[in-house]
Amino acid sequence: MIYIKLRKAWGLCAKRYISLNQKLQKLDDVYFVRHVIYHEMSHLIHMNHSRAFYDVLKQFDPLLKKENEKLHKRVEAFKAIVERKN
């Protein structure tokens, strides 16, 4: 797992290798950062967003159901951070 400069994504899983947006290192929202990592780890098992993928994600992240609404709000709030050039 490495941190790279991604323009529009928090993480990327390609060819069984995970890359994370370097801006994640600057965030103080531990749950959000952990969720991105769990999300990409789930892609190591299912390379899509099928129901099976989300079943795996729920195993990694048991708080997902409880935190789902808050997570969507965090994604919207952090989109501005990803889109910043600095």
Whether the per-residue pLDDT at 29 is higher than 80: the answer is yes
- As to burial, measured by CB atoms within 10 angstroms (0-12 exposed, 13-18 middle, 19+ buried), residue 71 is middle
CA dihedral of residues 62, 73, 21, 12 (deg, nearest 10): 60
| Amino acid identity for residue 16 in this structure | R
Under a CB-based contact definition with an 8 Å cutoff, are residues 58 and 42 in contact? no
Whether the per-residue pLDDT at 67 is higher than 60: the answer is yes
Whether the per-residue pLDDT at 86 is higher than 60: the answer is no
Contacts of residue 36, Cβ cutoff 8 Å, sequence gap at least 6: 10, 11, 20, 21, 24
> Span 62-83, mean pLDDT?
78
> Span 10-14, mean pLDDT?
91
Tell me, what's the pLDDT at 57? 95
